Amino acid sequence: MKSSGNNFFKYIFILVVIGLICGAIYIIYNKNDDTNEENATDDLNVLENQDISIVENLKMGITNYDTMNPILTRNREIVNIDYLIFDSLFRLTNDYNLEYYLAKSVNKTSDLTYEIKIDTDVKWQDGSSFISKDVSYTIEQIKNTNSIYLSNVQAIENVETPDSETVKITLNRDVPFFEYNLTFPIISSRYYMDEDFVNSNKIPIGTGMYKIASINENNILLIRNDRWKKIKTNTPKTQSITLQKYNAIGEVFNTFKLGNVDMVDTYMTNYTDYVGTMGYNKREYIGRDYDFLSFNCNDNILSDVAVRKAINYAINKETIVSTVLGNTKVVSNSPLDYGSCLYNKENIIPYNQELAKQTLENAGWSYINNRWQKNISGYVRKINLSLIVNKNNQERVNVANNIKEQLANVGIKINVVLVDDDRYQEYLSEKNYQLMLTGVTSSVSPELNYFYGEGNISNYYNEEVLKNLNSLDTISKAQAIANDEVPHIGLYRNKGTIILNSNVGGDISPNSNFLYYNFDKWFRQQ
């Protein structure tokens, strides 16, 4: 019995030891699992918060450098770069919608007076506060220096700053959509207080995404501005930008091919002659150089809307762009189709030669002896029109001749009249042509008075259009009416191209107003 009792306790002891061992193993196993889980989470956070493939610096090439001062520069490349360094009261979205930036609110207190409240929480890159006097000082310098932004402020009669957050602007005339003019860069008044602004050697400061760290003979270094108002929510992936100076665009292209420049912006149509067609990416964007065929709506023949519509139907713009212009342009139908959210496609007339003929017939025109003719006020009028073109613009001469050929296919006779620069300007100012092939650089503002307002280029008059032309709420209606009555025919626009090193990525969505739109999301990989 004693031996059996000893064996019983021995078995009990063994079971207890086994239990303790199993418990220890369980605890250790679970602890290791927890540790592994923590380590896995930490590793995931590292992967989420650190993109180890992104290179901190991005390299650009610029030519014909003059100054980084946004008010004084006349260099298109610097103007684009300056948008990353300097902010404006208002900015435009990618579809050209107006948004507040340095301004917090605007109130039109009378037909000619605007009161603007600014964001005084904004800091300059030297740490000083943004104040209303900075706005008045900027406008003053733009006027005094014949800046590229002079047209933005020409209608400003007076600027008052009653306190540090208020700007009162008085105009000398009514300016439709005036807020769109307030998209020029703002500079610091205190920074230049004791300086000769034009001849100052100080490195300019702004309130934007990047600040200028240094300028030397060969390079300009920009670094991320940690005081930028959006730094917490839109932290730029690229920490610094090196702007390399060159004498000619050919040098920039060559350096790009060697991989020493990451991107090049160009409006050149033959850039592939320099960089080839492979080994890089590109982003094209619609430019604001707008070429169109203008009608004189006071002319005996062209006062007939049916004739204008028929001519529009008969012109194949795709053929012009592909055959005559080698796809270096993009088809355009309207002064606002460069990307504006206010562009109205309603009543845009498509290419259709049969509808061209039918439109004339429905309006009482008859095709007799190879001519369209109609009895108007007792006189037989024939469609035999003159098209004025500047002979020194070979591209437009080629387009005019193609339009002549296309219209001949529907029996509309066109005589292309080549004139020199002076005579061309006379036709523009006097508006005494029948047809004219011309063009303008579209404003970022949706203001369309040049085309449809009083004294417009086409001698076009429609009371309903005039009534609805200068309001954001009604401009769409004005466009629809004008599209249907065809005072001019939009033909094509230029296009820009950013060519990019294949390692450059991000939300790259340039437009003609802000080349580096969403630049905080651009980056270069290893």
Cβ-Cβ contacts under 8 Å for 521 (sequence gap 6 or more): 237, 506, 507
Token reading at 91: 């900015």
* Domain pair 65-245 / 286-495, same fold: no
**Predicted pLDDT of residue 261:** 96
- For domain 286-495, the CATH superfamily is Dipeptide-binding Protein; Domain 3 (3.10.105.10)
**Predicted pLDDT of residue 53:** 61
Say if strands 219-224 and 240-246 run parallel, antiparallel, or are unpaired: antiparallel
Token reading at 90: 């208002």
Cα–Cα distance for residue pair 524/359, rounded to 1 Å = 55
Under 8 Å between Cβ of 249 and 268? yes
**Predicted pLDDT of residue 526:** 74
Q: How many CB atoms lie within 10 A of CB 516?
A: 22
**Predicted pLDDT of residue 180:** 97
The matching CATH number, chosen from 3.40.190.10, 3.40.50.2000, 3.60.20.10, 1.10.1050.10, for 65-245 is 3.40.190.10
**Predicted pLDDT of residue 378:** 86
**Predicted pLDDT of residue 450:** 97
Token reading at 244: 């390399």
Chain centre distance of CA 480: 24
**Predicted pLDDT of residue 376:** 87
Q: How many CB atoms lie within 10 A of CB 453?
A: 18
Average pLDDT along the chain, 526 residues, taken 10 residues at a time: 45 45 41 33 29 77 96 96 97 95 96 97 96 98 96 97 98 96 98 94 97 96 96 92 96 95 94 93 96 97 98 98 97 96 95 98 95 91 96 98 98 98 96 97 95 97 97 96 98 96 92 94 88
What residue ranges do the domains of the chain occupy?
65-245, 286-495
